[in-house]
Every structure is written in structure tokens, then in C-alpha cells.
């Protein structure tokens, strides 16, 4: 190790918890990584995956110059000025010919890469673009649709204090999501007065710790939850005082749940009826309950209905806005637009919960002769050609566009289909942050300083967007000059000037990220220009949550902004009280309207809804994307980070292995309606008969001396974009009917 080895505070970028870490650098290498004990949210906790982040920073093959696709398909390196000029000209042509709404934006940051994505909104405004999407539309928009109708916003569980914790399609031992997940799970498991209930077709590591594991048949979660709700209502385990004081329409919901056939629900999901009743009674008699639903159900059949039924469990039992229960919370910036009447897409008319185009309709919005089809795409820090259902269809859609621009640190599977690829600085080479601010009563935020200088030839996303906006001449120089002069005079004059400009010109708000970057940004310390947008967000927090902000120790917006800039281990930006949590409920009287008629109709229809989607041709349910100890999102473009399961094994049950004549280590072929793949078999007694799983994070085409090499299965060569939720359009990645057959060794 060299003499200049130093420690830097930062955060993990692999899941929504973004645990605080310290990185010891040796040159550009991450020599050691450990948890940051001073971090405001995670206090030194981290998992094994964070400790291998050098494989993200230094393991893959980085891009260091813009690339342009030529007519024969090969890429030519070009300089930044040429790239910006040509891209701006081509996007302007699309806008002027077909309208800005034909330009579609995908991405805006991965798990730890949100700050740059904020600036994309200004470019969209400059182009007149209206439609966007990101990975949230593959998982969370159904839940968001339900949230909009019920509490009006996102809720989070207080698992640290809950008497009963319910995990639905969620294995926090591997996928985390819960702050300090493994510590919290072990604390629940060893406390005789508390209980953990897991609803999952797989006997996960979390299920091993549970008091009750409802090992449902794959895809039958809606029947399981309907059965639990039926017990709660029919055995009168609901909180009538809460329903009277805090909700509306409860009687409509209760009357419907009185008719649920509990025995039939248990039979449909393969459970003993008494086990289902025991779980419901434990929930109904607890002093506090928190629940967590995740991709296991959000990427499967009936996902939006499942979200509704899950939330009815804690609402009917009064588990909201009290210790140990479900909590509303503040935001640095909302991740989605919560609306009970979402917009529709221009071609297929699909609902856009959260303001996001459902990922499974994107190809259909392009591969058509409809006059309003998408004709250009800007893709930032995302890899949809690999991550979205039916890769072949999405690749065909990319080829049908007039222009595709990809911004990323590496030449991804999506980048290989683009017209231009722009090399970005990595998440540890720039000022960065995430807006996963889900905590209550103390909500925290972490602005991360660069650990390394940007790799030569790369730019940050805010700078890329700023250069494109400059090239489009979208903002008069006079406005920039006014704000620059005000910024030199101080924050108070700047605030007054910005407010005056916004009053005169309504477009100021839409272009605010760019204006802040160009005018306030250069005045910030330590080159923190990209953090300029946080000034506006601090103003918003002071306006929306003034008391909570002051309880967190910030006298005003300027004090909060200064704390954000200075807090290398993060900052608490709001401190709430349970009594005041109800003000986050946005409905009249801060009451929760319980009936969602469309979803109540789906609940009624469960009696005739198809529960089994396998066939004689495709008899096994494949979960395409299982979290394991050595899987993570695909920003790890380096297979050497894995210590185990290096090929990404196909896990199948002992029963299925025997029936199919497969042994551990054998090769199998997986076939679905969309494609085929091969994988090594791992016999796993955690899987039930008729259920198989492939891990996430594999199947990348990584560069070699002779081209590219793929390790493991690219899951979306097997998935079908037509298998999707009828409300939110979310995909069925975790429920893919498949056939598995032996292959010769």
C-alpha cells in the first residue's frame, strides 16, 4: 500500500439502504471497506456485498470517450464537443418534426445514483419531453397506486419496535431494505414476546428465523392475504375505534371481507387452514404490526391487488402512525407522483402510476405506426435491454427509434444498441446522493463527496445535461447573468432573485436544476457544483415540514443546506412525532378512504380468477431473479466479485430433480414461451415442487480479448412482456411458466 492511502466516507450503492461506509484508497484502488460508525442511519452496519465495491469501481471495462455508431454498426470514438453538438441537433430534429412528447427518457439513476438524475428534468423541459420511466416501474408502481388512494403517500414499517413483523415476498436477510436488516431480524427472532411471519413460496433465510412461515404456492399470495383478512373480520380482530376515527368507507370493505371463504383461500394457496388462522390471530392481537412487501409479490400475478390487501391488514388493525407500526414520512424529494388518476401512455393508453410509463409497454409504444409513438430515447444509468422483460422485443424497439443516447460508465447491453454512448463518472468519482428517504421519526439524507477524481474523459451527468441544454440554447443568457450576480452577493440575495425570476417566468421552476447548476453551483465549496439542486430541495423541506426540520436542529432552509453540504456521514433533515404523523395523509380531514372499488372488484373476482398459470407444456414456475448472498444489481460488470455460485445456478426442488432425472451440477435447459437458456442445476430443499429460481445479476455480455463472454442466464431472454399486472403493468419476472429438461454433460 502506498504512503498516500487514506480513508474516505461514502455509502454503499447496491440497495435502497445505502449503508454508510468508509473506503481506504490506495491510488485508485479500494484497498479496504468498512461500515461508517458515525453514519446517521446505519451506524456502522453493512453487509458482505458492500465490502466488494472495488469490483464496481475498478473491475469492469470503463468508457473514457464518447462513442458514435456508424452506418455499418461499429462505434467511432469522438470528442465531447462533437458528441454534444450532434446529439443536440438530432434531438432537436425529432422535437421539431414530431414534438417533444416523442422523446422518451429512461433511468435517472440507479440504487445510489440519484443526484445526477435530478438534472435530467431540465433537459426534458428544454426538449418538451413528457414521458419517462425507470426501474421503479418494474416493481413499485402498483404499490404506489394503492398508496395514492389510501394514505396519499409512501409508508414504511417500524420493524425495530414492531411486535409482529410480516415479510411478504421479501427476504431481507439477502435483499435488505430494512435498515440494519440482519441485526433487526435476529433481534425479533430471539425475543419471545415478538413474532415474525413470512409469506413466501421459498423457505428463505428470513423464513428460517420466522415464527410462522406461510409457504404459499407460487402466485397465490392474493388468496393468502384474502384469507388473513377474512379471519380478521370474521373473528372481529379489527380496530373499530381506529376505523371510526381515522378512516372512511370501512363498512364497505368489512362487508365484503365477511364473505371471504377462508378454507377455500387456504386450499388455493396450499396452506393448512389452521396455520392461516393462527397467523391472522397473531396479527390481530398484536400491539403493533409492520409489513414489508417486495419483488417476490410485486413482480407476480395480482400484484396491485396484493398491495391493497397487504395494506388493509395493517389498516383494519389500526397499525398506522404509532410506534412499531406503519409510518408515513417526509421526503427529500418524492420518487414518484402519487395520484389516484394517473396519466395514460400515448399509444397503448396504459396507466402510468407514479407518473412512469410501465416498462412492459415501452416496446409497444415504439413498434407501431401510431403518430404519437416514441421516436427517440435518452437512457441514463440504466440497462433496459438487459433488465426489461423480453430483451429481444426491447432491442427491436431500440433499433426502430430515430436516435438513442445512452449515458453510462461502461458499454452495456443497451449501449451496444445506441447511436451515441456518453461516458459518465462513476458513483465514487462525483458528488452523489440517493433520495431513498423512507425513515420515521428521524429521516436522514446523505450527500456523498467524491472518493476519487473522475476518470479522464468522463463527465458527470449534471455536466452532460448542462452541455446539451447550452447547445439547445434553451435558457437566455440574461437569466443566467442575473442569477450569477445574485449568487456572488450571497444566498439571501440569490433566493430573492430566484423567486422574482420564477414569478416573472413560469418556466423557471422546470429549468431550476440547470439554473442552479450554472449559477449557484460554481459558488459551492470543494467543487460540489452538482449539489446545487439541494438548495431548492432544502427550501421545499422548510416549506413542507418546518416544525420537523427545526426539531432536527435546522433553523431554516439555509442551515439545512449547509448541514447537507458539510455532513460527510449524512444528516437528519426531519424529526417527526407520532401524534403529528397524520398530517402526511393528504385526503380530506386526514382520513384514510379504505375502499378502492376497482380492487375490491378484483377481490370479489378471486373466486373465478385463475390461480395456476402453468401448463402441460410449461409445468414449472420459474422465479427469474432471486437475491442470493453473491448477487447484486448489474452495475457490478465484473464476475470475479462472487465467492460462491459463480455461474448462477438454477435452483430446483428435490422432488423436481428426481422427476426430471437431474443431479447437482448437471446441465439443464430452461424453455419458456419467449426463449431458452442453459444453467447448472443446484438441488435445494428450500424450493417446493414445481418452483425453480435463477439468480439476478447474471447474463451480462462482458468484454474479452476476442469479443464478449456471457456468464449465467440473461433472465429477460426468457420473460414475456405480455405477462403483466392489469393495473400497474408491472412484469411477472417472479412467475414465469417454464419447462426444464436435462442436457448432456
Mean pLDDT computed over 258-264:
98
d(CA 100, CA 223) in angstroms, rounded, equals 44
User: Residue 343: how many CB atoms within 10 A of its CB?
Assistant: 16
Is there a contact between 415 and 708 (Cβ–Cβ < 8 Å)? no
The radius of gyration of the chain's CA atoms, rounded to the nearest angstrom, is 25
Cis peptide before 82 (omega within 30 of 0): no
With CA atoms as reference, report the closest residue to 421 among 705, 69, 657, 731: 69
d(CA 432, CA 462): 11
Q: For the segment 107-127, what is each residue's pLDDT rounded down to a tens digit?
A: 987 778 899 999 999 999 999
Phi-psi region of 442 (alpha: psi -120 to 50; beta: other; left: phi over 0): beta
Is pLDDT of 337 > 90? no
Of 107, 111, 3, which Cα lies nearest the Cα of 53? Answer: 111
Task: Give the whole-angstrom CA distance, residue 141 versus residue 336.
Answer: 9
Residues 6+ apart with CB under 8 A from 557: 535, 538, 539, 541, 542
pLDDT band at 4 (very low <50, low <70, confident <90, very high): low
Model pLDDT, residue 1: 52
Check pLDDT > 60 for residue 270.
Answer: yes
Parallel/antiparallel/unpaired status of strands 592-593 and 247-248: parallel
Give the mean pLDDT of 251-259: 98
Determine what percent of the chain is predicted with pLDDT higher than 90.
96
646-686: pLDDT as tens digits:
999 999 999 999 999 999 999 999 999 999 999 999 999 99
Q: Which residues on adjacent β-strands are paired with residue 432?
A: 448
Say if domain 67-129+375-434+442-575 classifies as CATH 3.40.50.740. Answer: yes
Backbone angles phi, psi at 715, to 5 degrees: -60, -35
Instruction: Answer yes or no: are the C-beta atoms of 393 and 362 closer than 8 Å.
Output: no
Quickly name the fold that domain 141-331 has. Answer: Dimethylsulfoxide Reductase; domain 2 (3.40.228)
Average pLDDT, the chain: 96
Alpha helix (H) residue ranges in 414-490: 461-472, 477-489
pLDDT one-digit tens code per residue, 170-228: 999 999 999 999 999 999 999 999 999 999 999 999 999 999 999 999 999 999 999 99
Q: State yes or no: pLDDT of 3 exceeds 70.
A: no
Q: Is 712 helix (H, G, I), strand (E, B) or coil?
A: coil
For residues 130-137, average pLDDT: 96
The band of 727, judged by pLDDT with boundaries at 50, 70 and 90, is: very high
Give the number of other CB atoms < 10 A from CB of residue 588: 8
Q: What is the 8-class DSSP label of residue 724?
A: B
Question: Do residues 572 and 226 touch, judged by C-beta distance below 8 A?
Answer: no
Look at the domain 6-57 and name its fold.
Phosphorylase Kinase; domain 1 (3.30.200)
Grid cell 370501512 is found at 250
DSSP 3-state helix, strand, coil percentages of the chain (rounded to 5)? 40, 20, 45
Q: What per-residue confidence (pLDDT) applies to 407? A: 97
C-beta neighbour count of 135 within 10 angstroms = 21
Helix axes 597-604, 303-316, angle to 10 degrees: 100
For range 524-530, the mean pLDDT: 97
241 burial (CB, 10 Å; 0-12 / 13-18 / 19+) is exposed
Domain regions of the chain by residue span: 6-57, 67-129+375-434+442-575, 141-331, 613-742
Residue 303 has a pLDDT of 98
Q: pLDDT (tens digit, 9 = 90+) per residue, 380-428?
A: 999 999 999 999 999 999 999 999 999 999 999 999 999 999 999 999 9
Please say if the pLDDT value at position 2 is more than 70. no
The per-residue pLDDT for 109 is: 73
CA distance 263 to 728: 29
pTM of the complete model: 0.97
Question: Is pLDDT of 737 > 90?
Answer: yes
CATH fold for the domain made of 613-742: Barwin-like endoglucanases (2.40.40)
pLDDT of residue 6: 87
Of 291, 35, 7, nearest in space to 172 by CA: 291
pLDDT (tens digit per residue) in 33-59: 999 999 999 999 999 899 999 999 999
Do the Cβ atoms of 293 and 265 come closer than 8 Å? no
Q: What is d(CA 440, CA 580) in angstroms, rounded to the nearest whole number?
A: 12
Percent of the chain beyond pLDDT 70?
99
* pLDDT tens digits, one per residue of 601-632: 999 999 999 999 999 999 999 999 999 999 98
Amino acid at each position: 500500500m502506498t504512503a498516500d492511502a487514506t480513508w474516505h466516507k461514502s455509502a454503499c450503492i447496491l440497495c435502497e439502504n445505502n449503508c454508510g461506509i468508509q473506503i481506504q484508497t490506495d491510488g485508485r484502488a479500494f484497498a479496504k471497506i468498512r461500515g461508517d460508525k458515525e453514519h446517521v442511519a446505519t451506524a456502522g452496519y453493512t453487509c458482505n456485498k458492500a465490502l466488494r465495491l472495488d469490483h464496481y469501481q475498478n473491475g469492469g471495462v470503463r468508457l473514457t470517450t464518447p462513442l458514435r455508431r456508424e452506418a455499418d454498426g461499429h462505434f467511432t470514438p469522438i470528442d465531447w464537443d462533437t458528441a454534444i453538438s450532434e446529439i443536440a441537433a438530432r434531438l432537436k430534429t425529432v422535437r421539431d418534426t414530431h414534438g417533444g412528447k416523442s422523446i422518451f427518457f429512461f433511468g435517472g439513476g440507479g440504487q445510489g445514483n440519484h443526484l445526477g438524475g435530478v438534472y435530467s428534468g431540465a433537459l426534458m423541459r428544454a426538449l418538451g419531453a413528457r414521458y419517462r420511466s425507470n426501474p421503479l416501474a418494474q416493481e413499485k408502481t402498483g404499490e404506489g397506486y394503492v398508496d395514492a388512494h389510501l394514505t396519499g403517500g409512501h409508508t414504511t414499517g417500524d420493524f425495530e419496535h414492531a411486535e409482529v413483523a410480516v415479510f411478504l415476498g421479501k427476504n431481507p436477510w439477502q435483499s435488505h431494505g430494512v435498515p440494519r436488516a440482519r441485526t433487526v431480524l435476529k433481534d425479533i427472532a430471539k425475543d419471545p414476546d415478538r413474532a415474525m411471519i413470512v409469506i413466501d413460496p421459498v423457505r428463505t433465510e428470513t423464513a428460517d428465523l420466522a415464527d410462522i412461515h406461510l409457504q404459499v404456492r407460487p402466485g397465490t399470495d392474493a388468496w393468502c392475504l384474502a384469507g388473513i383478512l377474512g379471519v380478521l373480520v370474521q373473528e372481529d380482530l379489527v380496530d373499530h375505534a381506529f376505523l371510526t376515527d381515522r378512516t372512511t368507507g370501512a363498512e364497505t370493505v368489512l362487508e365484503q371481507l365477511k364473505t371471504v371463504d377462508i378454507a377455500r383461500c387456504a386450499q388455493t394457496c396450499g396452506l393448512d387452514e389452521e396455520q392461516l388462522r393462527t397467523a391472522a390471530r397473531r396479527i390481530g392481537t398484536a400491539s403493533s404490526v409492520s409489513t414489508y412487501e417486495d419483488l417476490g409479490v410485486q413482480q407476480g400475478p395480482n400484484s396491485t391487488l396484493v398491495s391493497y390487501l397487504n395494506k388493509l391488514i395493517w389498516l383494519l388493525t389500526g397499525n398506522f402512525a404509532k410506534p412499531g407500526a406503519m409510518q408515513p414520512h417526509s421526503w427529500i424529494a418524492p420518487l414518484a407522483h402519487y395520484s389516484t388518476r394517473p396519466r395514460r401512455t400515448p399509444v397503448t393508453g396504459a396507466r402510468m402510476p407514479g407518473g412512469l410509463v410501465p416498462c412492459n409497454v415501452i416496446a409497444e409504444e415504439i413498434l407501431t405506426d401510431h403518430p404519437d409513438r416514441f421516436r427517440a430515447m435518452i437512457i441514463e444509468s440504466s440497462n433496459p435491454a438487459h433488465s426489461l422483460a423480453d430483451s429481444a422485443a426491447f432491442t427491436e424497439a431500440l433499433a426502430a427509434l430515430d436516435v438513442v443516447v445512452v449515458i453510462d460508465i461502461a458499454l452495456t447491453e443497451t449501449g451496444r444498441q445506441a447511436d451515441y454512448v456518453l461516458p459518465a463518472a462513476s458513483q465514487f468519482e462525483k458528488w452523489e446522493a440517493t433520495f431513498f428517504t423512507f425513515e420515521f421519526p428521524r429521516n436522514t439524507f446523505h450527500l456523498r463527496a467524491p472518493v476519487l477524481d473522475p476518470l479522464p474523459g468522463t463527465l458527470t451527468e449534471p455536466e452532460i445535461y448542462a452541455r446539451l441544454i447550452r447547445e439547445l440554447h434553451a435558457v437566455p443568457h440574461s437569466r443566467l447573468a442575473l442569477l450569477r450576480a445574485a449568487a456572488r452577493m450571497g444566498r439571501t440575495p440569490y433566493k430573492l432573485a430566484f423567486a422574482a425570476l420564477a414569478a416573472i417566468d413560469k418556466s423557471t421552476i422546470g429549468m431550476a436544476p440547470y439554473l442552479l447548476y450554472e449559477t449557484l453551483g460554481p459558488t459551492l465549496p470543494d467543487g460540489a457544483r452538482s449539489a446545487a439542486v439541494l438548495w431548492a430541495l432544502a427550501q421545499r423541506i422548510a416549506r413542507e415540514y418546518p416544525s420537523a426540520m427545526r426539531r432536527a436542529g435546522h433553523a431554516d432552509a439555509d442551515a439545512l443546506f449547509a448541514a447537507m453540504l458539510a455532513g460527510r456521514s449524512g444528516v437528519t433533515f426531519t424529526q417527526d412525532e407520532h401524534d403529528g404523523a397524520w398530517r402526511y395523509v393528504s385526503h380530506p380531514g386526514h382520513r384514510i378512504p379504505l375502499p378502492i372499488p376497482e380492487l375490491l372488484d378484483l377481490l370479489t373476482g378471486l373466486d373465478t380468477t385463475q390461480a395456476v398459470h402453468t401448463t402441460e407444456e410449461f409445468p414449472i414456475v420459474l422465479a427469474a431473479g432471486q437475491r442470493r448472498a453473491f448477487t447484486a444489481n448489474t452495475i457490478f460488470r465484473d464476475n470475479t466479485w462472487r465467492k460462491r455460485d459463480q455461474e448462477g445456478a438454477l435452483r430446483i426442488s428435490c422432488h423436481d430433480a428426481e422427476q426430471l432425472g437431474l443431479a447437482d451440477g448437471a446441465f439443464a435447459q430452461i424453455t419458456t414461451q419467449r426463449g431458452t437458456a442453459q444453467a447448472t442445476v443446484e438441488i435445494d430443499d428450500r424450493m417446493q415442487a414445481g418452483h425453480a429460481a435463477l439468480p439476478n445479476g447474471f447474463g451480462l455480455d462482458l468484454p474479452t480479448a476476442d469479443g464478449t463472454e456471457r456468464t449465467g442466464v440473461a433472465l429477460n431472454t426468457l420473460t414475456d412482456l405480455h405477462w403483466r399486472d392489469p393495473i400497474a403493468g408491472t412484469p411477472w419476472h417472479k412467475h414465469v411458466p417454464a419447462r426444464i429438461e436435462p442436457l448432456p454433460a
